[in-house]
Amino acid sequence: MRTARLRGRMRLSELFPADDVIVGFQPTDKWDAIKRLVDHLVARGRLPAEKSQAIFEAVCTRERSMSTGMEQGVAIPHASVDGVEGVLAAMGLVSDPAGMAFDAIDGRPTRVVVLLVIPRAQKLLHIRTLADIARVLSKDSVRDHLVSAKSSQEAWDVLHEGDAARR
């Protein structure tokens, strides 16, 4: 599992490698965004293909129960599932400056979509991971730099700097 702690908190830059931050993300809607992020994890060998449909359905079920569109252009679709060893994550940075609809609680469009798949048995990790992502992505400067990044590495560097700024 790719996790590290900083004063008991998850370091987002270690939650996923730079290759799992997708710049130029162009989903047609939130369901397509979730599917593309799950497929990305499969393509990168981080999620077994035989588990992808079940995980996609678990995330969609969670999303239908209550939207994970947060405030300030951030969505964190997620699910707790059986059969994964550690946290799996991927981030899509929506390339359209108008963003995409994600039924966000503030009604604004989404530009940053973070998919989280967390082992069902690790509820505390689930809550902490969501909180840590929200904490870093609540900063205007981090979000602004993420959506203007030209490469996955540049976006990952923004996350790394956002982590460091929490000290």
DSSP assigned state of 150 = S
Q: Residue 18 is encoded by which pair of tokens? A: 């730079």
Q: How far is CA 119 from CA 19, 67, 126, 153, in A?
A: 22, 20, 8, 27
pTM score over 0.85: yes
Residue 97 three-state SS = coil
Element (DSSP H or E) covering residue 93: strand 88-94
* Catalytic-role residue among 78, 126, 145, 160: 78
Active site residue 160: no
User: What architecture is domain 5-164?
Assistant: 3-Layer(aba) Sandwich (3.40)
pLDDT digits (tens, 9 = 90+) for 92-112: 999 999 999 999 999 999 999
Question: Which residues are paired to 69 by β-bridges?
Answer: 75
Which tens digits make up the pLDDT trace of 43-68?
A: 999 999 999 999 999 999 999 999 99
Helix axes 49-65, 30-43, angle to 10 degrees: 150
